[in-house]
Amino acid sequence: MDIQVEKNNGVLTIKPQGRLDTKTAPILADKLYEILGDTKELIFDFTDLEYTSSAGLRVLLAMQQEMEERDGSMKVININESIRQVFDMVGFFAIIDVE
């Protein structure tokens, strides 16, 4: 998995590519905790993400909780149809801002 990172004025945009699964989710989580710093807004751009497993969903939930504790915000943008279906099945649209 390749992860593109852009940080600008407290806004951190993460753009993972490929698959977010049991093998790659810990890599993403470690990277996030390493670079989160003073981030007030976290954006996950899933334009190039093909798939996410429950391990990837756990990373999103952990980051949502982290951002709430910081009085910050998090959103997920540009999800494909298969990820949209997973989010719908597990109720993510009720707890995570998805555009």
In this predicted structure, the answer to whether residue 1 has a pLDDT above a threshold of 90 is: no
> What's the mean per-residue pLDDT of the chain?
95
- The per-residue pLDDT for range 42-59, each reduced to its tens digit, is 999 999 999 999 999 999
Q: What number of helices (H) and strands (E) belong to the chain?
A: 3, 6
Task: Name the pairing type of β-strands 41-45 and 73-77.
Answer: parallel
Contacting residues for 23 by C-beta, under 8 A, at least 6 apart: none
- The per-residue pLDDT for range 55-77, each reduced to its tens digit, is 999 999 999 999 999 999 999 99
pTM attached to this predicted model: 0.94
pLDDT for res 36: 94
